[in-house]
Amino acid sequence: KQEVTQIPAALSVPEGENLVLNCSFTDSAIYNLQWFRQDPGKGLTSLLLIQSSQREQTSGRLNASLDKSSGRSTLYIAASQPGDSATYLCAVGSSQAGTALIFGKGTTLSVSS
Amino acid sequence: GAVVSQHPSRVICKSGTSVKIECRSLDFQATTMFWYRQFPKQSLMLMATSNEGSKATYEQGVEKDKFLINHASLTLSTLTVTSAHPEDSSFYICSATPDRAIYEQYFGPGTRLTVT
């Protein structure tokens, strides 16, 4: 059964720092991996989607990498801002079509000004 | 495109009553939808997979008689929490997989259920 782990559980940084969030998964038979952002009491905002055949995806200050063979992904946030404060969730999609995404427990990020 | 809505966004009900949550795919057909539950400061836990025209598949530990799922059309799935108790208070999120893109999943905005 797929298990997704995110480290650290919480992270506090001053504004302007670059940071890395980590995600690992136990079953490498994935179709894709997705990073989401969730603000308190809100739904999910999709940030980046990496297909299993890809190594990384970039969007603005965000860069996500995927090493499928080792079961790892990282989300790199450059020049962090207070508005980046949120919980970041990693989710993997199985290679079996029509199955649900499996989520990690998330990393709660706090960026102070 | 690929928008999923949920209704209501918030609901408060009394213990013992039932509440229905709707999940709609607005601009695509979805044979498969999923229901997740999220407790405060926890991650999303899959409750069940809903398939149009057939019975839902529930994850281990989820009571199918308490959480009734109906997927009556290709754009609508409903989750009914029956005989609600305070411990059922949670954030419920649905997602839908487009029939045209079976490896994709789009999420609704969630429903906050509070049982008093």
Q: What does the DSSP assignment read for B40-108?
A: TT---EEEEEEETTS--EEPTT--TTTEEEEEEETTEEEEEE-S--GGG-EEEEEEEE-TT-TT--EE-
Given this model, what pLDDT does residue A96 score? 82
CA dihedral in degrees (A64, A74, A30, B48; nearest 10)? -100
Give the separation between CA B102 and CA B72, rounded to whole angstroms: 19
Query: Is A89 an interface residue toward B (CB < 8 Å)?
Result: yes
CB contact under 8 A, B108 and A43: yes
Contacts of B44 in chain A (CB under 8 A): 44, 89, 91, 103
Residue A70 is given by DSSP the state T
Cis peptide before A14 (omega within 30 of 0): no
The reply to whether A52 touches chain B by the CB within 8 Å rule is no
Amino acid of residue B73: S
Average pLDDT in the B12-27 region?
97
Residues 83-102 of B with CB under 8 A from A: 91, 93, 95, 97, 102
Q: Do A102 and B102 touch (CB under 8 A)?
A: no
What burial class does residue B35 get, using C-beta atoms within 10 Å of its C-beta: 0-12 exposed, 13-18 middle, 19+ buried?
buried
| A44 touches B at CB < 8 Å | yes
Q: Do B110 and A43 touch (CB under 8 A)?
A: yes
Q: With cut-offs at 50, 70 and 90, classify the pLDDT of residue A98.
A: confident
Question: Residues B57-87: pLDDT tens digits?
Answer: 999 999 999 999 999 899 999 999 999 999 9
Q: Which residue has the tokens 């995927």?
A: A66
Average pLDDT over residues A77-89: 97
Evaluate if residue B104 carries a pLDDT over 90: no
| pLDDT band with cut points at 50, 70 and 90 for residue A97 | confident
Residue showing tokens 């919980």: A87
Q: In angstroms, rounded to a whole number, what is the distance separating the alpha carbons of residues A1 and B46?
A: 13
Q: What is the mean pLDDT of residues B20-42?
A: 94
The answer to whether A62 touches A90, Cβ cutoff 8 Å, is: no
B32 part of contact set with chain A, CB < 8 Å = yes
Query: Which 3 state secondary structure label does DSSP give B116?
Result: coil
